[in-house]
Amino acid sequence: MIGPDIVIAPSILAADFANLAAEARAVEGAADWLHVDVMDNHFVPNLTIGPAVVASLRAATEIPFDCHLMIEDPKRWAPAYAELGAYNVTFHAEACADPVALARDLRAAGSKAGLALDRDTPVEPYLELLPHFDTLLIMTIKAGFGGQRFIPELLDKVRLARRHAKAGHLELRIEVDGGIADDTIAAAAEAGADAFVAGTAVYGADDPAEACRKLRALAAAAAR
């Protein structure tokens, strides 16, 4: 695997949007990626930020950006996030007719390519596409809002994808997103996830950097 064994990615959805630069800097050195949730009020009911704000934030911190696009028409909008310097750009399979072509566009624009599957989307139809992706994001809630309860049954998709990736010798990050906290991260790591998004568990804590370190230790102990 390229990069760290375990990726901890705090989600800005639980941060103070008036102080995003400071919130990003608060986890520098403790987090691997900053998970930037982009929502368009169409693919999901919620609305967050777009390329202009992400570009400004990109200039304000050293942390690699993991952009999670919960938007319609990612073919039109996703490459802009790669061009503004995101490390990884993940779009939803449910919103894209040709995921492999978009993965190719993202890599050509300079980022890693990620495929996200929402709560009700099975993983089986996408297994054959995984060689074209760097990241597979398995939602462990229904996409749209932070602070929801983790759904353990969704880890079956992580197990299946990890088995498939191992059998095919794929270098694939499997990322889990939703309800990841001290009491759930071990199960996700045991299932085969190696990248962990945490919003409430990091930015709801008194010390976000310390919360990242604790999550990492728990994931590392479970992955062993």
Residues paired with residue 4 on neighbouring β-strands, in sequence order: none
Q: Which member of 30, 32, 54, 68 binds Zn ion (CB under 5 A)?
A: 68
Give the residue ranges of DSSP H helices in 17-96.
20-25, 51-58, 74-83
Active-site residue, 206 included: no
C-alpha 59/C-alpha 172 separation (Å) is: 28
Q: Which member of 6, 7, 8, 14 binds ligand DX5 (CB under 6 A)?
A: 14
- By the rule CB under 5 A, 92 interacts with Zn ion: no
- Radius of gyration in angstroms for the set of CA atoms belonging to the chain, rounded to a whole number: 16
Interface with ligand DX5 in residues 86-145 (CB under 6 A): 141, 143-145
Per-residue x/- track, 141-180, Zn ion (CB under 5 A): ------------------------------------x---
- By the rule CB under 6 A, 172 interacts with ligand DX5: no
Per-residue x/- track, 31-60, Zn ion (CB under 5 A): ------x-----------------------
Q: Give me the least distance between CB of 64 and ligand DX5, in Å please.
A: 16
Contact indicator for 191, 223 with CB cutoff of 8 Å: no
- By the rule CB under 6 A, 146 interacts with ligand DX5: yes
Cα diameter, the chain: 45
Active-site residue, 177 included: yes
Burial of 122 (0-12, 13-18, 19+ CB in 10 A): exposed
Phi, psi of 138 (to 5 degrees): -100, 115
By the criterion CB under 6 A, which residues form the site for ligand DX5? 11, 13-14, 35, 37, 68, 141, 143-148, 177-180, 197-201
